Amino acid sequence: MKIALLGYGKMGQVIERIAVERGHEIVLKKDEFNTYDGLSTADVAIDFSVPSAAVDNISNCFHANVPVISGTTGWLEHYDEMAALCKEKNGGFISSSNFSLGVNLFFELNEYLAKMMSKFESYKVDMEEIHHTQKLDAPSGTAISLAKGVIENSNYTNWTMEEAKNNEIHIEALRIGTVPGTHTVTYNSPIDSIEIKHTAHNREGFALGAVIAAEWIVGKHGIFSMRDVLGSNSK
């Protein structure tokens, strides 16, 4: 399989290594200093760039008839626009805040727990996410996905980084050292606390999940999710 890497920072380099180990060929390493030459020869593109570049990267893939896996966060105000372009061009698209298998299991656990806890009004939920100091967006896309998972399975209606109202989930975003990513969901009551937590030890899980998603989407048309890739989209 021929892969175009859109974004060649630390994540892009880990993805390259894992892709090559799995027998794939890298035909483009796109960064801010080069062009999209080679994109049209790719079977699939993987975008781990920056928020300001993501929309251009994704739209160029659709125009080149190349399915795209996007792990870039912080650009989702343009998601509907990209989804419409995907449909117009009959493209293939997966955008996920996190491609890690462990995090996607954590998403499922979070939704299950939210459904259970929605019956007990004495518990108030809040979230904390910790990432390295080079991460540009806050809160993380993963934290937003976790908050949405709670909202869809409870009486909460919104998330905030400010002081939370009764129907809001507070998200605390911290930027510390080189932390790959830690997400904690806590239910607090006057009596006790219940907490679930995912800690990434390195970037390997994110990169492997993105490559697996890329392998899965080749030859497919439409907008998919990691639930589709992992075969857990039974909702």
Encode pLDDT of 98-152 as tens digits: 899 899 999 999 999 999 999 999 999 999 999 999 888 899 989 999 999 999 9
Domain ranges of the chain: 2-99+204-230, 101-199
Residue 235 has a pLDDT of 44
Mean pLDDT estimate for the chain: 94
Pairwise CA distance, residues 147 & 208, whole Å = 24
Higher pLDDT, residue 40 or 134:
40
* Cβ proximity of 139 and 162 under 8 Å: no
C-alpha Rg value of the chain to the nearest Å: 18
For residue 134 the two structure tokens come to 């080079």
Higher pLDDT, residue 184 or 141:
184
Q: What is the largest CA-CA distance in the chain?
A: 60
The structural architecture, per CATH, of the domain 2-99+204-230 is: 3-Layer(aba) Sandwich (3.40)
CATH tag for 101-199 (out of 3.30.360.10, 3.10.20.30, 3.40.50.2000, 3.60.20.10): 3.30.360.10
- Find out whether the peptide bond into 67 is cis, omega within 30 degrees of 0: no
Positions annotated as catalytic residues are 131, 135
* Cβ proximity of 161 and 130 under 8 Å: no
Pairwise CA distance, residues 75 & 57, whole Å = 12
Alpha-carbon torsion 229, 29, 80, 84, what sign?
A: negative
Whole-model pTM: value is 0.80
Q: For 189-230, what is each residue's pLDDT tens digit?
A: 999 999 999 999 988 999 999 999 999 999 999 999 998 998
Residue 106 has a pLDDT of 96
Sorted by sequence, the CB contacts under 8 Å of residue 145 that are 6+ apart come out as: 97, 98, 107
Q: Looking at the chain, list the stretches that DSSP marks H as alpha helix, in order from N- to C-terminal side.
A: 10-21, 51-63, 79-88, 101-117, 141-151, 204-217, 226-230
The mean per-residue pLDDT over the stretch 67-90 comes to 95
